[in-house]
Amino acid sequence: MSEKTLKVIEVKLLPKGDYISSGFSTIQPDSYFPNISLGNKYDSFWLYLRRDITHNWYVDKRKQNVGFVSRDEAHILYNTALKFKGKKALEIGCWMGWSACHLALGGVELDVIDPMLSEELFNESVTESLKSAGVKESVNLIPGCSPEKVEEIANKFQRKWSLIFIDGNHEAPAPLNDTIICEQLAEADALILFHDLASPDVGQGLDYLKEKGWNTMVYQTMQIMGVAWRGNVEPVIHQPDPKINWPLPPHLQGYFVSGSVQTAAEDKFAEILRAVRPYTLLSERKLFSLYSQAKQLYCYLFWLPKMLRQAIARNKPIKHD
């Protein structure tokens, strides 16, 4: 059986609700994560969780309001890591090790920095998953907070990294601070990936690298990923799920989107713009920003009652006879 045929079979066997870009090599390390579970997006109150994107949102059964990178996003990590096989890589924020596992399976020598690794049960869980996947020997788990711990490790081991994945604290100014230290400690030929670019705070990191002259691009995934690169390296090409109408938030409007096509949302805005243009002096960019923000707020308020009902139901005391 040919390799191409095997890949087709693997994709068809994926759980319903998962998607992987065409052209990607595929893996499925689910069995190494015994607590992985299909999450309910309404269990999270984070404003920038894209609940309208129908891809599966995976969580750990022990902490169901925090999600993993999606299947598609994990394969961006894996296929990018394949391009950096044997090189030093850094991950800031690993949660339960799902993303670290995909990076390590791609063949990089990975340093992982996360304050949660100082908790014994969390560290044991991540370690066991990586051991089961056969990649623990290539992963260095480091308890601590970025950017201080990043700089400390770089100085201690005289280290720079060729591949970096930033998925730590998402509240400003943390993403920008992570980016600044990583830019200083990246090799001349380097690539930096971001997760959760749906948040403007995370977007500040990609903006910083763009201003510093790095090449940049956005991946349309469940939570939006970004990539910046310089020197003699290239990012993977990703094709967004054609079944989904992909909105792009206003803070990312200046970026090229891998595999981008005109969306229904953009068509709808063009229709609105034609109607309001004679009555306003605001720029098209400002109008689109207002339109996007209003739509995001509307969606959040639409979801909020269901989120509150589920939160109340989870905390309601059980009545005994």
Q: Are 102 and 81 in contact (CB under 8 A)?
A: yes
- Phi then psi for 37, rounded to 5 degrees? -150, 150
Query: What DSSP character marks residue 51?
Result: T
pTM of the model: 0.82
How far apart (Å, rounded) are the C-alpha atoms in residues 221 and 69? 10
How far apart (Å, rounded) are the C-alpha atoms in residues 105 and 99? 10
CA distances in angstroms from 246 to 16, 157, 221, 249, 268, listed in the order given: 19, 42, 8, 10, 13
Q: Other C-beta atoms within 10 Å of 80: how many?
A: 26
pLDDT in the model for residue 168: 96
What contacts 56, CB < 8 A, 6 or more positions away?
Answer: 15, 17, 18, 38, 70, 71
Give start and end residues of each alpha helix (H) in the chain.
3-12, 71-82, 98-105, 120-132, 148-157, 174-185, 200-211, 264-276, 284-315
pLDDT in the model for residue 284: 61
pLDDT in the model for residue 296: 57
pLDDT in the model for residue 162: 98
Residues of the chain with CATH 3.40.50.150: 71-252
Of the candidates 122, 116, 125, 121, the one whose C-alpha atom is nearest the C-alpha of residue 146 is 116
Got the DSSP string for 94-123? -TTSHHHHHHHHTT-EEEEEEGGGGSHHHH
pLDDT one digit per residue (tens) for the chain, 321 residues: 344 433 443 555 789 999 999 999 999 999 999 999 999 998 998 989 999 999 999 999 999 999 999 999 999 999 999 999 999 999 999 999 999 999 999 999 999 999 999 999 999 999 999 999 999 999 999 999 999 999 999 999 999 999 999 999 999 999 999 999 999 999 999 999 999 999 999 999 999 999 999 999 999 999 999 999 999 999 999 999 999 999 898 899 889 999 875 454 555 666 776 777 777 777 765 666 566 566 556 655 665 676 566 667 666 554 443
Fold of 71-252: Rossmann fold (3.40.50)
Residues in the chain: 321
How far apart (Å, rounded) are the C-alpha atoms in residues 52 and 64? 18
Q: Are 57 and 84 in contact (CB under 8 A)?
A: no
What contacts 59, CB < 8 A, 6 or more positions away?
Answer: 36, 37, 38, 39, 43, 65, 66, 67, 68
What contacts 6, CB < 8 A, 6 or more positions away?
Answer: none
Q: Are 100 and 130 in contact (CB under 8 A)?
A: yes
Q: How many CA atoms lie within 13 A of 181 on its CB side?
A: 22
Q: Are 86 and 109 in contact (CB under 8 A)?
A: yes
Place of tokens 């469940």: 222
